[in-house]
A and B are shown apart, each in its own frame.
Chain A
């Protein structure tokens, strides 16, 4: 049975290794914060962090993800306290909210590699995530705010729980 490391926990998933990671996360692991948008890697709603890198979980198989540390929106923090999540609240980013798990994880990955991104850096890093509500301006502001607040490296949560980060 394939085994995944999701949000610092080891989870056995009873599905074929060829199954897209997205649906294994949603239907087998029970984490529905990762969203289905297009199924072809075009919209970014299903973005998760795989060893810290933003990946489209609809384009990865369970087999691809075995052995990697997967972080979904639920694993970013237990209580919404991650600097990027806080910035999202402070800037009131979400409208319908459906794309925001993916947006937040893409932003986390951007800031992990670039502590002070410019607008152009943000545009480049975030252009794989579609938002139909047009929250792009608010997302830009929130990323700058999170950068100013000093997001900790990688995708570590605020508490030092030891596992998982790069």
Chain B
């Protein structure tokens, strides 16, 4: 079979003529190329599932020992973990190899990784996607098993070579060790191990034996991210690819009626103007020519029925729909208790649309030739045959008019993801265009394109009512949610875990965190009114929790205030049946010294949220400077179950906090005339270093199964800040972003 390797710059390297990188950076010696494995359709070296077939004719120079889709050991002793998840900063290119290295007994400086091709072997039910903070959760056992099985086979190979029972042999530092002390390196054993059957089951290490799991091992991708060598979507593909920009209808749901390309075609460097599904593409010799060509297009848009939509109308529809939502949680009889008229607390919360604003705007390179399509993309969603409209591979194949088996997806580093790159719109554009023009073409989005054609965190509207019992504890809790559904445009089944829930009534992408709010209240009712609007919405770091945590944690704070009780103590008393909540709440209170007063002119707020299998509590300390909120310090405690890499967990908490703070302080996409008002960082600002708080993170020890860490840091920070501002100023923030009066 003909395997091909492809370097990040797109140059193909045939038949395992491996190009070894010379990089020896930061003490880590590794390959710099991204090995993408066999080209689809050419007889993959990869198998399916856990009993993986080793393809016949595997080139001996390419992975002498490849017992499964996740691991390649070469005769030179190099160990490469194929990472089937997308690296967008959250650390999967370190965390997943860490799982393999632990069970395989390979020292950390001997491990390399490569991004896997789009293939069903890299996901449950064939869905290869990165989202929902699931990477470590889902890989915890499979990748450890991959390492353990390979180790078992290598040890068996050594046993046969030496003619001794395998049980007498141990492994250490990528070698098999005999009782005599004689050693054989994994590279020396690779070819023999490859002849053995992959065992069905092998024992995994007991956690007490872990030496790598639980260690803050250095990230494998850091060195190349300090030298400019890391290849992102915008850097990938053949160097001679032409560059295209697409004019898209500014009104959501609009279409091209007609266009005049003559002026655009006169712009120097512009070679072609092509209509595609999303608009009009201008193909040129570079970004600037494409941009100038696009500006010279004359397009008559059919703006469609959405052209009058604005924020006021959107929130009118939410408000009108809210009373008629369907029940997503019902205990006791909240409405009856509320009608009884005891001390009533009511509040309405409104949250705006948010753009993802990844640092790297969308881009995708595609090349269609000889009935085959190659796509280079910073994508969170590579593969999903028959599901959710498909992953990048299926979407590109469809758009280019080729077979998915003849479509190859090369995943680059992602310059931020946050859910935006789970969409395949940018892949479709490039593949469709590549199917219509000669040669490779790279579609680049401007920041304005990126901001105005996002799949936004939906705006939402929340009505809360509560009553307190005589002891001050809540007796009834009614929460009415009105928002757009994220799930709907991907149903059925983006990540399989979501699928069953999505098909049910609750639509967790809209109600998670609210339908299962953890506080003990005898009468609870939560309703959800789904409102259909033409504004595209999608997954945004922590999904439904981005709005429900703010609302639930604000309202419990309001109840605590009404009860005249300390907000930490109030929460704690209502969480008695949720020990993991209590542990992080106590941990953050201790870390922040909650019971000691904040410095003069400052106040603290607290909030907690469980999301993606992890429990996070945060305290924010704020002041008001020149009428603007300032967040000085944030303390965070997380219980994410077993901690794989503590440094990465801490970094993700800090990351999620900064991401949430940007939303709290600035984030707002307004809709006017059916289009997004904001366009770039001047009117959609980001938190900067001079505004960023000092963050302290405590990891709460836990023997529980691993939870996620990419998203759970985000939900509690917004209410922690707004609760702190209430404590400081008496102003309850119910509309975001924060505006002090």
Contact = CB atoms under 8 A, between A and B. Distances in A.
Contact of A134 (B91, B286, B415, B658): B658
Chain B contact-residue range equals 35 or more
Interface centre among A96, A133, A136 (most CB of B within 10 A): A96
A4 interface: no
Interface string A94-120: 111111110010000000000000000
Contacts of A63: none
A104 B447 contact: no
Interface string A127-166: 1111111111111100000000000000000000000000
Given A20-B288, A92-B651, A136-B658, A129 B689 contact: yes
A76 to B, nearest CB: 8
A83 to B, nearest CB: 12
B681 interface: yes
Interface string B642-673: 00000100010011111100100000000000
Contact of A93 (B222, B228, B358, B694): B222
B415 A35 contact: yes
B678 interface: no
Contacts of A100: 225-226
A89 B218 contact: yes
Contacts of A19: 288
Among B232, B239, B418, B655: residue with most chain A CB under 10 A: B655
B489 interface: no
Contacts of B231: 32
B226 A80 contact: yes
A39 B655 CA distance: 24
Contacts of A31: 228
Contacts of B695: 137
A134 to B, nearest CB: 3
A80 B221 CA distance: 13
A132 B225 contact: no
A33 interface: yes
B659 A132 contact: yes
A93 B226 CA distance: 9
Interface string B563-599: 0000000000000000000000000000000000000
B729 interface: no
Residue from the set A30, A80, A85, A104 with the largest chain B CB neighbour count within 10 Å: A80
Contact of A36 (B219, B228, B287, B417): B287
Give the dominant DSSP class at B's interface.
loop
B440 interface: no
Interface string A13-27: 001000110010011
B230 interface: yes
A68 interface: no
A94 B415 contact: no
Contacts of B494: none
A52 to B, nearest CB: 18
Interface string B440-480: 00001011000000000000000000000000000000000
A122 B690 CA distance: 8
B78 interface: no
Contact of B681 (A42, A85, A133): A42
Given A37-B359, A96-B413, A132 B287 contact: no
A126 interface: yes
B417 to A, nearest CB: 8
A79 B681 CA distance: 33
B25 interface: yes
Grouping DSSP codes into helix (H, G, I), strand (E, B) and loop, the A interface class, with mixed when no group exceeds half, is loop
Contacts of A124: 690
Interface in B687-741: 687-692, 694-695
Contact of B416 (A32, A33, A132, A139): A132
Contacts of B218: 89, 92
B689 A101 contact: no
A132 B357 contact: yes
Contacts of B89: 94-97, 133
Nearest to A73: B228
A60 interface: no
B239 A30 contact: yes
A85 B690 CA distance: 22
Contacts of A23: 286-288
Contact of A98 (B239, B359, B689, B692): B359
B447 A37 contact: yes
Interface string B621-655: 00000000000000000000000000100010011
Nearest to B446: A39
A98 B416 contact: yes
Contact of B447 (A27, A39, A134, A136): A39
Nearest to B691: A127
Contacts of B88: 96
Interface in B263-301: 286-288
A33 B229 CA distance: 6
B235 interface: yes
Nearest to A87: B226
B44 to A, nearest CB: 29
B496 interface: no
A132 B685 CA distance: 11
B694 A37 contact: no
B680 A40 contact: yes
A147 to B, nearest CB: 16
A89 B24 CA distance: 13
A123 B688 CA distance: 9
A96 B30 CA distance: 19
B240 to A, nearest CB: 11
Given A27-B286, A30-B239, A95-B89, A89 B446 contact: no
B267 to A, nearest CB: 12
Which of A26, A92, A101 has most B Cβ within 10 Å? A92
A125 to B, nearest CB: 9
Greatest chain A CB density within 10 A among B357, B361, B651, B695 is at B651
B348 interface: no
B223 interface: yes
Contacts of B87: 96
A134 B413 contact: no
B226 A104 contact: yes
B682 interface: yes
B90 interface: yes
A35 to B, nearest CB: 7
Given A19-B288, A130-B359, A92 B230 contact: no
A74 interface: yes
A96 B415 contact: yes
Contacts of B41: none
B229 to A, nearest CB: 7
B609 interface: no
Contacts of B417: 96
Contact of B228 (A32, A89, A127): A32
A45 interface: yes
Interface of A: 15, 19-20, 23, 26-28, 30-40, 42-43, 45, 72-74, 76-77, 79-80, 85-86, 88-89, 92-101, 104, 122-124, 126-140
Interface of B: 24-26, 87-91, 218-219, 221-223, 225-232, 234-235, 239, 243, 286-288, 357-361, 413-418, 444, 446-447, 647, 651, 654-659, 662, 680-682, 686-692, 694-695
Given A73-B228, A77-B227, 9 more contacts: A37-B360, A38-B680, A89-B218, A96-B87, A99-B359, A130-B359, A132-B359, A137-B692, A140-B689
9 contacts: A19-B288, A36-B444, A80-B226, A94-B221, A94-B226, A95-B655, A98-B358, A99-B359, A137-B692
